[in-house]
Amino acid sequence: MSLYHPSDDFVARSNVSGGDARRDLVARAEAAPEKFWSELAESELHWFRKWDAVLDESGAPFYKWFVGGRTNMSYNCVDRHCDTWRKNRAAIVWEGEPGDQRTLTYQELLRCVKRFASVLREQGFRAGDRAIIYMPMVPELPVAMLACARLGIVHSVVFAGFSAEALKTRILDLDASLVITADGGWRRGKVVPLKDAVDEALHDCPGVRSVIVYRRTGSDVAMHDGRDAWWHDLDRGASEDCPAEELDAEHPLYVLYTSGTTGKPKGIVHSTGGYQLQVSMAMRWVFDIRDEDTYWCAADVGWVTGHSYIVYGPLLVGTTTVMYEGAPDFPEPDRFWRIADKYRVNVFYTSPTAIRAFIRFGDRYPDRHDLSSLRLLGSVGEPINPSAWEWYHRVIGGGRCPIVDTWWQTETGSIMISPLPGATPLKPGSATFPLPGVAADVVDMRGNSVEPGGEGFLVVRKPWPSMFRTLWGDPVRFQEVYWSQIPGTYFVGDAARKDKDGYFWVLGRVDDVMNVSGHRMSTAELESMLVRHEAVAEAAVIGVPDELTGQAVVAFVTPIQGHEPTDELAAELREWTAQQIGKFARPKQIRFSDALPKTRSGKIMRRLLREIVTTQTVTGDITTLEDLSVIDRLAAQQGSD
């Protein structure tokens, strides 16, 4: 396989310049990890008080970083830049879906953050309180996050594509007392009615005492006396005297819910000090950020990618972060390229699913625009197939931009395995090597490294600064799911291969978690949602390979006696999914069946279902199958798309 090398000019100008520079960083991190991270923490970030210990492993796996240190994310993202030449630099360049535009300099951002933080303080919210943020992709979303971070209010951003029901689950699990939302947001020319969803969710959430509503769309919304207030009304009297709290390095910054192997989403808890550090380093090492860059991560702030690489990472290093509210194909499939051209974007980060969608739309859309400002491209969320990689490299990158294929997870907080663009020769489809200070490896069941060329489980052997600290309200699950498969080692949940040159190839999940368009979906969560419907007796959900979305959800459903397996029922179950979780979770296909293949002990054999969908037959071992005739019936059954 041919290697892709960065140009000499790219290497000469990059932050980590050449293979030797990278190897030197890796070696220094390996030889003395605490020294390595503490030197970076000192040079990269502001600390109100320096730490007493870099790493405390005594409570493993509940590791602590920069123990005793005091810092503040909001201060590091905004305040400190305002004492430098950056004060009038664009912090956020924003474009709404209808085409409206706003630019916030670091000074303007600071004023907005201080004002909103003082509003929250006036309402009596304090460090440790929890806020849910359910907003469209407008600048006030990062403002809300930074205002919470300023006071130590733990925020949980709920992706605006989640339904009222999913929102409610999160509000209750977090026991949040504050909800920050908007009247709506724009998506493909239509209003997404966010405030209506909040009202519906709050019927059952007595703990929420305040709802702050940003006016985005101007739609009619109900305002509840004594609970709801408009952002602009509160802002009118807001003070700009609101210093950042000197928070403990381990103070929780946010909780982000993600799917696991059970029916209940997990609240991933991130802390402040270590997270700040590793996210900053990724901006420098992986995105190679320079002072003149305009940087665009085209994800949504509702997922971890947006937290770390639209909001916190870019602002920490004082770059300009582009933010776009709407759909990539609105009003036409060239929207991303129009934006990249218009704002002269230099570094661009997106997902393989988006890239494959653009390939389908055709080259004429990128061809309409001048993409010559781009110098570096990134990919995240799922393995990128080499042909999509090649297209991205050739058509979007004009053959001159390295591609950083970044592997990481909600749990890891920051990028863990990735090329350094001026230092790592690329192999399309490989995330290449662990970053300096990241002890990732591929191992067998006993935790032994596999030989070069071998496959196994992806693990991280040592704690890393941006690691999640626990699962909200469930430390036992934290230990069981992640730290006990191979005792003392972080179990990622992905399979991977290490080739003879040591390159990592991430192959996909080894658990019942699917990856649809780079979003994590839980088999169990979808199944328990489906069986809550009155017409469903049993459901089995599988992920099958899909050319566009990586994996697609296929649901096998057994209706309750008296309910007919009709197209109407399939449509109803799709609508039910939209209501219970969100439209993005709707199964691609629903197949009805009067029985599901089970082992004699009653476990659904998903492997067989997967085979039936992908090959229409079953070849593997079926000796444990309870009722053989089920297979024939299922194979004969047509799906309803």
Residues at the contact surface with ligand WT7, assessed by CB under 6 A: 258, 304-305, 380-383, 405-410, 431, 492-494, 506, 509, 515, 518, 520
172, 166 contact by CB (below 8 A): no
Using alpha carbons, select from 498, 478, 475, 502 the residue that is nearest to residue 490.
478
Angle, helix 523-531 to helix 567-580, in steps of 10 degrees: 120
- CB 83 to ligand WT7: min, Å: 33
Which residue of the chain is nearest ligand WT7 when measured via CB?
410
252, 270 contact by CB (below 8 A): yes
- CB 346 to ligand WT7: min, Å: 21
Dihedral pair phi/psi, residue 132, rounded to 5°:
-100, 135
- CB 161 to ligand WT7: min, Å: 14
Spatial separation of the C-alpha atoms in residues 157 and 144, rounded to whole Å: 10
Place of tokens 């923490």: 41
| Comparison of 310 and 395: residue with beta carbon closer to ligand WT7 | 310
Place of tokens 């664009």: 90
Kindly report the three-state secondary structure assignment for every residue of 271-337: ECHHHHHHHHHHHHHCCCCCCCCEEEECCCCCCHHHHHHHHHHHHHCCCEEEEECCCCCCCCCCHHH
552, 546 contact by CB (below 8 A): yes
| Comparison of 231 and 504: residue with beta carbon closer to ligand WT7 | 504
Q: Which two tokens stand for residue 181?
A: 């939302």
- CB 103 to ligand WT7: min, Å: 27
CA 371 vs CA 323, 365, 387, 442, 476: distances in Å: 18, 11, 20, 38, 49
| Comparison of 79 and 405: residue with beta carbon closer to ligand WT7 | 405
- CB 459 to ligand WT7: min, Å: 12
| Comparison of 217 and 414: residue with beta carbon closer to ligand WT7 | 414
- CB 511 to ligand WT7: min, Å: 9
| Comparison of 333 and 383: residue with beta carbon closer to ligand WT7 | 383
- CB 507 to ligand WT7: min, Å: 8
| Comparison of 258 and 272: residue with beta carbon closer to ligand WT7 | 258
Spatial separation of the C-alpha atoms in residues 533 and 594, rounded to whole Å: 16
What type of residue sits at position 61?
P
| Comparison of 383 and 543: residue with beta carbon closer to ligand WT7 | 383
Spatial separation of the C-alpha atoms in residues 155 and 133, rounded to whole Å: 7
- CB 342 to ligand WT7: min, Å: 26
469, 248 contact by CB (below 8 A): no
Spatial separation of the C-alpha atoms in residues 420 and 422, rounded to whole Å: 6
Could you count the other beta carbons within 10 Å of the beta carbon of residue 611? 20
Task: State which H helix or E strand residue 558 sits in.
Answer: strand 550-559
- CB 576 to ligand WT7: min, Å: 23
| Comparison of 382 and 525: residue with beta carbon closer to ligand WT7 | 382
End-to-end C-alpha distance for the chain, whole angstroms = 38
> Which residues on adjacent β-strands are paired with residue 296?
322, 348
- CB 275 to ligand WT7: min, Å: 14
| Comparison of 187 and 509: residue with beta carbon closer to ligand WT7 | 509
| Comparison of 105 and 258: residue with beta carbon closer to ligand WT7 | 258
- CB 300 to ligand WT7: min, Å: 11
| Comparison of 304 and 340: residue with beta carbon closer to ligand WT7 | 304
